[in-house]
Structure 1
Amino acid sequence: MGNVSDIIVVGGGIGGLAAALSVSNETDKSVAVFEQAPEFGEVGAGIQLAPNALEVLDRLGVKEEILKHAVLPKRLVLKDVYTAKEVAVLDLGEGFQKEFGQPYIVLHRSDLHRVLYEACQRKGNIQFFTNQVIQTAEQDDNTATIINQNGERFTAEAVIGADGVKSNIRKLFIDDAPVNSAYVAYRGTLPIEEIAGNDNFGLDDVIMWIGPNLHLVQYPVRRGELYNQVVVFKSYDTTVEDWGTPEELTRRFEGSHPQVENALKFINRQFRWQMFDRNPIENWTTGNITLLGDSGHAMLQYLAQGGVQALEDAFVLGEKLKEYNTYEEAFKAYQEVRIPRSAMVQTTARKWGEIIHAEDPITIALRNHIFEKHQPTDYNVVDFLYGYFNKNYQRVK
């Protein structure tokens, strides 16, 4: 087809759309977003957005629109899956918002995606292509070219690979495979009316029920109209293709607290997500091609930072493209900031998973003892995540 735009973004998920919006906001470059699905949309269920995400969305100009679809929970709560005892609490009220300059919100992924998509549509210099399974990218002097499943070629000045955990663009940098965590997730939402008057559901908090090699997350989304639940457990037989079956889910949660057993009745067991991440890599950039989001740093969701880190990527990428004259300089400067940060979050997510899923009784007792000493308004423990953006990217007044 030839030249389609100044910059091509491969992947129309949250990271790809945020990147397109950031580039359009910060530069005069035109953008083309290539999505493999037949239409732009987002599957899945809820997403948690911490203050570092809200700060990016604010700067991208979409925060107020997103807040229309969100719920602002009062607390993050860790509960014991067998006893229902609150193991640790983080207060998300005024003190939290004052500390980090932004709230903590939860919403449906499709609502976040739609707001970003509509903001891109309003830009005028961002175009969209669907049914595009991009196989690879290549470059010569001043052009970068992507090739789709039909062998069609599209060229631009630069390519941003935002094509997810199974990224094809990543293959230009490393021949690695996604890392199987042996954990599987069942996710879904249900109308809030279905649980109305049911005391087993906390409508004000993000609740994470934790136990050995398993957990359940619950919170309301879409202005409180839907209730989101995610059930996660470690499968003990990942040698078969359909590991992590509904039958294993039932077995793994046997003996859990009645509130948990009741919540599991509402879980849709038809769809499951086998959970993979990637090992951090030392380079995402070659010439006029770079990576963004999961293609660069897919992570386990235990810190609720996967989408958030893609948003951080998008903002920094726009800033560096504005700052530097060439793509190569801008992309190198971008990855110098983003690789250490995202790698730290990737590895911390793995460690946090080990902590919340601990099975050794002594480890559990020690963990709970440390958690119990934590005050709900002591925000130092999350400052490395939530406070990062404001400390490193002061707003230009």
Structure 2
Amino acid sequence: MANTLIAGGGIGGLAAALSIAREGNRVTVLERGDRFAELGAGIQLAPNAFRALDLLGVGDRVRDRAVFIDELRFMDGTTGDRVAGLPLTGAYRERFGNPYAVVSRGDLYQPLLDACRADGRIELLPGHTVTGYTQSAAEVAAEVVVTGRAADGVTATSFEADYLIGADGIRSAVRAQLVGDGRPRVSGHTIYRSVIPMDRVPAELRWNVVTLWAGPKWHFVHYPIGGGAFLNLAATRDDGAAREVAGEPVARDRVRKEFPGLSDTARALLELGDEWRTWVLCDRDPVANWVDGRVALLGDAAHPMLQYAAQGACTALEDAVVIGGVFPDLDTYAGLRRERTARATLTARWLGEHLYHPAGEAARDRNATLAALSGTDLHDHVAWLHAFDLAERIPSDAVR
């Protein structure tokens, strides 16, 4: 039995704790926040995420909170025309073995947190920020700053264990030491987010689909969350932003002005938004070195990606299952995950640069190409992501 530290108590960190503990190990999760909670609005879960959640033992609890979507719909944001739709019922569910769903981030996080709290092998410590590590041939020591109710003021200490997993996000302190690649890459894209009650949405616009309206240097996405009680709005502008921004409040008038030429239906939905917050999107280039001796990276600390392929949380959940399945062989874990997550990272960038934001003739060519694809064609295009079978990548005795 190994003792393992996990830096970061987000979705990836809690999933990794469950996976490693299920193999008979003891796990301590060190979370910088003063409580274990997941901030943010909506999140999309493809079948590969549900496969991982099932292997972690929480799939049914997430399904109970999810909205199962009928279609991924691509619209021309300036003309209002429907361009293409990827159907998510019937043949899709039969082919990929699971539904496509949307949830609030809390509705994904809470089942993971409840399962960790119920597992006597997992200790959850809020107010503990991992700032670095040292290691020997026999153990690793995480350097930790303890704050809030967990300490009288601010206290520096260390935690010793057999292994340390850095799941501390895109600005990971563990990655800073392990990889040393500096600040995240600023994409130049600004996203505005709002969640509104569904009863404010006209009945004829309450679609059970993930809808993307594509325009010149912008796109707008919306879908239901919270069991259908809320509508999640996310509008993105390719504005060349160069400064990192995370969750700053923004006036609704500013959001409205950022999306000129938006078609009538999309404009009506955007104008329903209120209490907007904004982020400048960031990611990192894929790297080969996820492992340093007894230390490994996971989730956004290993492969932060833009939201455009809707795979950030999905791939973090996959990471968690794989690391538990081969634990404590960290090199095998990283070897199994690097190529796939690098491809997802670069695909997300490509979507934002080439599919969602063209103008003029390039946009018309894109529309014609997408419109010519059948549902089966579109299923084929996403199969490498959505049909990923974790059982094929880890030892059979790790899949229960």
TM-score past 0.5 threshold = yes
Is the 1:139–1:145 contact (alpha carbons within 8 Å) kept by the matching residues of 2?
Answer: yes
Structure with bigger strand share is: 2
Amino acid at match of 2:232: N
Conserved 8 A contact 2:30-2:125: yes
State the 1:376 CA deviation.
Answer: 2.2
Which residue of 1 is the match for residue 231 of structure 2?
227
2:97 aligns with one of 92, 96, 101: 101
How far the C-alpha of 1:16 sits from its partner, in A, is 0.3
TM-score, with length taken from structure 1? 0.91
Alignment of 1:20-31 (within 5 A): 20-25=17-22, 27-31=23-27
Letter in 2 for 1:152: T
> Secondary structure of the residue that 2:302 maps to in structure 1?
helix
Superposed CA deviations along residues 81-125 of structure 1, whole A, max 9, x for unmatched, are: 112211111000121011011111111101110110001111111
1:233/1:269 Cα in 2 relative to 1: closer, same or farther (>3 Å)? farther
3-state SS, counterpart of residue 223 of structure 1: helix
CA–CA distance in structure 2, aligned partners of residues 272 and 295 of structure 1: 22
Match among 256, 265, 269 for residue 259 of structure 1: 265
Question: Is the counterpart of residue 363 in structure 1 residue 362 in structure 2?
Answer: yes
Q: Is 1:126 matched up with 2:122? A: yes
Distance 1:111 1:283, change over 3 A: same
Q: Tell me the secondary structure at the aligned position of residue 52 of structure 1.
A: helix
Distance change >3 Å, CA 268–CA 140, structure 1 → 2: farther
Pick the aligned partner of 2:12 from 1, 11, 15: 15
Judge conservation of contact 1:211–1:358 (CA < 8 Å) in 2: yes
State the Cα distance separating 1:237 from its structure 2 match.
5.1
- The whole-number CA distance in structure 2 between the counterparts of 1:173 and 1:111 is 32
2:387 aligned partner, one-letter code = G
CA contact (8 A) 2:69 2:101 kept: yes
Unaligned 5+ runs, structure 1:
322-326
RMSD over aligned Cα, in angstroms?
Answer: 2.1
Per the alignment, do residues 350 and 224 of structure 1 end up closer, same or farther by CA in structure 2, a change over 3 Å counting? same
Give the letter aligned to residue 215 of structure 1: H
Q: Which residue of 1 aligns with 2:348?
A: 349
2:152 aligns with none
Q: CA–CA distance in 1 between the matches of 2:16 and 2:393?
A: 17
* Pick aligned residue for 1:112 from 102, 105, 108: 108
Find out whether 1:183 has 2:228 as its counterpart.
no
Alignment of 1:1-397 (within 5 A): 6-25=3-22, 27-149=23-145, 150-176=155-181, 177-195=183-201, 197-199=202-204, 201-236=205-240, 238=242, 246=251, 249-321=255-327, 327=328, 330-378=329-377, 379-389=379-389, 392-393=392-393
Structure 1 residue identity aligned to 2:255? L
- How high is the TM-score relative to the length of structure 2? 0.91
Distance 1:349 1:389 in 2: 21
- 2:24 match: secondary structure: coil
| Secondary structure of the structure 1 residue equivalent to 2:130 | coil
Q: Is the 8 A contact 1:33 1:129 kept in 2?
A: yes
**SS at the partner of 1:281?**
coil
1:140 aligned partner, one-letter code: S
CA distance in 2, matches of 1:239, 1:312: 31
Aligned residues: 383
Q: 1:383 and 1:391 mapped to 2: Cα distance? A: 16
Describe the shift of the 1:239–1:334 C-alpha distance in structure 2 as closer, same or farther (beyond 3 A).
closer
Deviation at 1:224, TM superposition (A): 1.1
Q: CA deviation at 1:241?
A: 7.2
Contact 1:186–1:269, Cα closer than 8 Å, also in 2: no
**Distance across 1 between alignment mates of 2:99 and 2:390:** 13
Classify 1:237/1:76 alpha carbon distance in 2 versus 1 (closer, same or farther; 3 Å).
closer
Residue 175 (structure 1) shift: 2.1
Structure 2 runs not aligned, ≥5 long: 146-154
C-alpha change, 1:236 and 1:282, in structure 2 (3 Å) is: closer
Q: What are the Cα deviations for residues 182-233 of structure 1, in whole angstroms up to 9, with x where unaligned?
A: 11112232222222x443x343111111112211111111211221111111
Residues in 1 aligned to 2:92 and 2:78: alpha-carbon distance in whole angstroms: 29
Shift of 1:146: 1.0
CA contact (8 A) 2:189 2:240 kept: no
Q: 1:269 to 1:355 in 2, by over 3 A?
A: farther
The share of aligned pairs that are identical, in percent, is 33
User: Greater shift after overlay, 269-278 or 78-87?
Assistant: 269-278
* Whole-angstrom distance in 2 between the partners of 1:108 and 1:303: 17
Q: Classify 1:79/1:129 alpha carbon distance in 2 versus 1 (closer, same or farther; 3 Å).
A: same
* Kept after mapping to 1: 8 A contact 2:189/2:241: no
**Which letter maps to 2:360?**
P
**Once the 2 structures are TM-superposed, how far is the Cα of residue 31 of structure 1 from its aligned partner?**
0.4
User: Does the aligned pair in 2 maintain the 1:183–1:244 contact within 8 Å?
Assistant: no
Aligned mates of 1:129, 1:290 — CA distance in 2: 20
Quick check: 89-98 or 224-233, which moved more? Answer: 224-233
